[in-house]
Amino acid sequence: MSIDRAVMAFAGTAILVSLALAHWHSAYWLLLTAFVGLNLLQASMTGFCPLAIVLKRLGAKPGQAFS
């Protein structure tokens, strides 16, 4: 799995989990959804993604977006 796909999979999972937690526990979990969304937005504009850096150091193969 490339870094790009791993970042998208992680972001999608974090969003779905936070939505479920907001539904069953507390609306404050929506802050996690907002954080993930804002991080995706800034990564699309700047090309800087902390998760991509971690995955690269762990040896994941680069994709098109995060090299």
Residue 51 lies inside a defined structural domain of this protein: yes
Q: Do the beta carbons of residue 33 and residue 15 sit within 8 Å?
A: yes
**What is residue 25's three-state secondary structure?**
coil
Q: What is the pLDDT along the chain (67 residues), one digit of tens a residue?
A: 889 999 999 999 999 999 999 999 999 999 999 999 999 999 999 989 999 999 999 999 988 876 5
Residue 40: inside a domain: yes
- The pLDDT value recorded for residue 66 is 64
In this predicted structure, what is the pLDDT of residue 67?
59
Count the domains in the chain.
1
Domain extent, residue 30, equals 3-57
pTM for the structure as a whole: 0.84
- Using DSSP, how many helices (H) and how many strands (E) does the chain show? 3, 0
Other beta carbons within 10 Å of 38: 10
Place of tokens 């994709």: 63
Is residue 31, in this structure, part of any structural domain at all? Answer: yes
